[in-house]
Structure 1
């Protein structure tokens, strides 16, 4: 990871940002490289995810867990710190540490697995990762597995292999399925999975635009250079902000369904969508 400029204003440390600051960027960092994790905290990501799973070689797992425990012993960090765990040993070792903001749970296929982690790690926000066809079939039950679940996401590399999908567009149904499950469970819109080519920023932009069109909000990254592209792609445009402000202003004058001066008809659902657009725009 290259050196990163300090963010213009440090993000708030709460795990769930207040209304007006939904997270858009989630930066993965290998847990066995503590110096890289330290750099990541100043890169401007909304959330840093310390990875103890795929990014760490088997013979480095114990070291990565110990290094992460040392990091999480400090309750004050610039941004929320999540951990993608490798197994129950990680969960038991890290639960209760003051710097921990959440667990990312890989390869979840049933709600019962989430219930088990919630019992082992009481009070820790959980983010199940759905990485197989079986997991997608159980998407809603996983998303609604209890108050500890704060969000869900896809693990697209494993899901692509499981489904035999070659084209990126072949995962669009899976992404939409996830968006529906999250909404039905009253969770935030899911963030998009990582884009693996850190040099192809044009490809990243196009993929983000496609994901945003499917209802995803924000994206995980594996390199700081991806963060600015993700931020721009998911931030509302000036025109979208203008339209949202017009809708919200009109709804403040007249309750219920209403017609705008240009003839457009809006109802409560449209107003709610406009408010969300302004909440995202409020980040800038």
Structure 2
């Protein structure tokens, strides 16, 4: 197995795959493209999404799975400046074959759908060593085991939540129910010191106002970025999850002020307006800088 990067402050950014491709510091949009539509791969890379997710699972009919896998491997072998992830098929349903085929390619990372057991994560890491893994939490059992999945292997670089499959399993798409499950995934990622999870796909592709409203709501709840299924959604999501006016500068000034106070031997931390800054505010400011480092 390739060397695993420990999670935490020194962890490599998600997507530092064997081909050397690294995503931007901020991944706001994860654009899905069907794995059996190679004519769309280049267009997906050019539409402004921070990362492309080539899909070998739901978007591909069973009779086209093998052809899609070959097309994706050929695409990855060319190398690309933007990060390219692959959503493989679920464990036990073709996922192992997908992972074996991706070995040695320039894939930036892999999304593991309907992930429910840490052993599935460990097996993915064995089949595709050194590549960041993102368990997709899409079932009730997956939600219950979200933290175990997040800590299932050192190459887990994040969690993602899938609403559609969970809603089908539960027999309800009620917002309260899905929010409760999504928050479990959010807490599991935070407890494992992983990045904040992206929001699930917004299925009403033409409702861009509704998409923007839902993204604002998701950002306020602690999520960051979103999986999207159409290029028209990319700019909306990128805009909502861009740093707000003055947000980064304010966070930088706060951190610098605390550092100066510490260097001067001052025990009290005051912001530029003379207000006391507590440890929680300092952590939040540093999180802003970590999140938006290098953001455009």
Using structure 2 for the length normalisation, give the TM-score: 0.85
Please give the root-mean-square deviation of Cα atoms over the aligned residues, in Å.
2.0
Residue 79 of structure 1, aligned match among 82, 91, 99: 82
Report how far residue 242 of structure 1 moved.
Answer: 4.6
CA contact 2:258–2:270 (8 Å) conserved in 1? no
Matches within 5 A, 1:227-246: 227-246=234-253
Residue 95 (1) aligns with residue 103 (2): yes
CA contact 1:175–1:214 (8 Å) conserved in 2? no
Matches within 5 A, 1:108-127: 108-127=115-134
Partner of 1:222: 229
Partner of 1:63: 67
SS of the residue corresponding to residue 41 of structure 2 reads helix
Report how far residue 216 of structure 1 moved.
Answer: 0.8
Partner of 1:140: 147
Relative to structure 1, the CA distance from residue 270 to residue 17 in structure 2 (aligned partners, 3 Å threshold; closer, same or farther) is: farther
Relative to structure 1, the CA distance from residue 165 to residue 263 in structure 2 (aligned partners, 3 Å threshold; closer, same or farther) is: farther
CA contact 2:23–2:83 (8 Å) conserved in 1? no
Residue 172 of structure 1, aligned match among 164, 179, 189: 179
Using structure 1 for the length normalisation, give the TM-score: 0.88
Distance, in Å, in 1 between the alignment partners of 2:22 and 2:280 is 24
CA contact 2:50–2:83 (8 Å) conserved in 1? yes
Distance, in Å, in 1 between the alignment partners of 2:200 and 2:268 is 36
SS of the residue corresponding to residue 238 of structure 1 reads coil
Partner of 2:13: none
Report how far residue 138 of structure 1 moved.
Answer: 0.5
Report how far residue 197 of structure 1 moved.
Answer: 1.1
CA contact 1:260–1:266 (8 Å) conserved in 2? yes
Residue 188 (1) aligns with residue 195 (2): yes
Residue 34 of structure 1, aligned match among 35, 38, 41: 38
SS of the residue corresponding to residue 150 of structure 1 reads coil
Partner of 1:47: 51
CA contact 2:112–2:136 (8 Å) conserved in 1? yes
Residue 104 of structure 1, aligned match among 106, 111, 114: 111
CA contact 2:26–2:294 (8 Å) conserved in 1? no
Partner of 2:279: 268
Count matched residues: 269
SS of the residue corresponding to residue 170 of structure 1 reads helix
> Per-residue CA shift, 1:123-153, capped at 9, x if unaligned?
1211110111111111111000111111111
Partner of 1:22: 26
Relative to structure 1, the CA distance from residue 31 to residue 175 in structure 2 (aligned partners, 3 Å threshold; closer, same or farther) is: same
